[in-house]
Each structure stands twice: as C-alpha cells, then as structure tokens.
Amino acid sequence: MMTKLVDEVYNATGYRFKSIDLLKTALTHRSSVGNNNERLEFLGDSVLGMVIANYLYLKYPECDEGTLTRCRALTVKRDSLAEVARRINLGGFILLGDAAIRSGGAERESILGDVLEAIIGAVFLEGGLDSATRVVKKLFSEDLESLSPFNSLKDAKTDLQEALQKFGYPLPIYNVVEQKGPAHQREFVVSCYLQEPELTCYGNGASRRKAEQVAAQSALREIKITDDNTS
C-alpha cells in the first residue's frame, strides 16, 4: 500500500521518495497519531519562498523589490497553495485525526496548504535543493506562467475592498454556497454579499479563490466601481 502511495505522489510531484517514513510524516496532520508534518511544513515554507523568489528574480530583471515581493506573495498565499494541492489531488493522501475530519478535513485550505509545504520540505530534506526546485516549478508552473508583474497586481477582491473602504462601507462577505464535481475537477460557487450598497453577486471557478474573484468582479460591475474612481 505504501509503495502505491509513493507511486501516486511521484505521479503528482515528479519526485520519488526513498524514505516511506519521511513521506508518511509529510502527509500526517497534527490531529493524527504519530509524528506530524509541522516541522516539515516550517522547512517547506522557507524552501518554497526561496525557490519562487529566485525564479522571479531571474525571470524579471527589470522589476523592483516591491513588485517581486508582491508577485511572490500572490504565488505562495494560502489559497494559492490550496489550489495547487487540489490540482494534484493531494487531499486524498493526507492522514487526519477524527477531529480534523469532522471539521472539514482535507477540504480545508489551511490543511491542504500545510501539507503541500511539508511535501516540499521533505523533498528538500531528502533530495536537496535541486530536487525541491524541480518539484516547485512543476507544481506551480501554471501559476508562474499566468503571473504578469507588468499588470496591476491588485485583484478584483482587493479593488472591491479598497473601494468600499473609501466610501466607509462594510467589507464584503464571501461564502461558498456550492461545490460540484470530483476532487480533481471541483467547481466552486461563491457568493459575495455587500451590506452597503446591499447586493449579492455570485461567481464560479475551479477553486474557491477563482470563484471569489469572479464574484468580486461581478460586484464591481454592478455598483460601477472602477480603478479610476477608487484611486
């Protein structure tokens, strides 16, 4: 069974673990019995940040520190990590305790992101920086290719929040109202509720983050708030 797990993680990440114990630790949430992945998560967080920073530094020599920092933050923020984890169906490998399962388990963004970082930390520990770099570039290739530091790095959610704050309105409230499809082809439906002006908009997407962005963009269109009158 563990050999099958090694094969499945290899198919997802491109790295084949030699130590089954290390892989098992990386996949073990603190709610479960035995060694958990918190230390590996700590390590993986730093490795991921460094690999992404190095990639951005080399790819965009004309960008200043602030732009590079914002690009890195967009790539490694919690919902981005969870989206990557869902793309490789990582939730199906996580070892959870009963309490974590009852509270949403492998669907929770925090758990998905933590395990992804732990896997990266484990790859670094066993295979070194070169292996970890290859894994990060493979897992985040879609995100890095779609990143455009030359466009505004403020997304629709940020634009909406800043616009509402300018007029003294309460912040929007986002809720997942529906999840459809299998784990590897999940579709989220998210509502964006504004108290003032009172309005509810909806968005669909392959991740919660994308659905929230669509809903926020819809809200911006409905209340006719644009970057021009929020700057």
- The CATH number of residue 133's host domain is 1.10.1520.10
Band (pLDDT 50/70/90 cuts) for residue 72 is: very high
Among 128-137, 155-164, 191-200, 219-228, the minimum mean pLDDT is found in 219-228
Task: With a cut of 80, say whether residue 231 has pLDDT above it.
Answer: no
**Beta strands 173-180 and 187-195: pairing type?**
antiparallel
Question: CB within 8 A of 13, min separation 6: which ones?
Answer: 88, 119, 123, 135, 138, 139
Q: Which domain covers residue 93, as residue numbers?
A: 2-146
Task: With a cut of 90, say whether residue 89 has pLDDT above it.
Answer: no
Task: With a cut of 60, say whether residue 230 has pLDDT above it.
Answer: no
Q: Alpha-carbon distance 163 to 13, whole Å?
A: 40
Answer yes or no: do 45 and 128 share one domain. Answer: yes
* CA 36 distance to own-chain centroid: 21
pLDDT of residue 94: 85
Q: What average pLDDT score do residues 94-109 get? A: 74
Answer yes or no: do 9 and 107 share one domain. Answer: yes
Q: What average pLDDT score do residues 223-228 get? A: 53
Last residue of a domain, one of 99, 116, 146: 146
Residue 192 main-chain phi, psi, to 5 deg: -120, 110
pLDDT tens string 119-156: 999 999 999 999 999 999 999 998 888 777 765 445 78
Answer yes or no: do 125 and 163 share one domain. Answer: no
Of residues 29 and 101, which shows the higher confidence score?
A: 29
**Contact call for residues 183 and 86 (beta carbons, < 8 A):** yes
Answer yes or no: do 204 and 95 share one domain. Answer: no
Answer yes or no: do 92 and 184 share one domain. Answer: no
**Contact call for residues 41 and 114 (beta carbons, < 8 A):** yes
Answer yes or no: do 212 and 190 share one domain. Answer: yes
pLDDT of residue 226: 40
Answer yes or no: do 31 and 118 share one domain. Answer: yes
Q: Measuring CA to CA, which residue among 101, 100, 142, 94 is closest to residue 119?
A: 94
pTM, 2 dp: 0.69
* Residue 151 lies inside a defined structural domain of this protein: no
Q: Alpha-carbon distance 220 to 142, whole Å?
A: 27
* Residue 101 lies inside a defined structural domain of this protein: yes
Last residue of a domain, one of 128, 146, 164: 146
Of residues 180 and 116, which shows the higher confidence score?
A: 116
Residue 229 main-chain phi, psi, to 5 deg: -100, 10
Active site residues per annotation: 45, 117
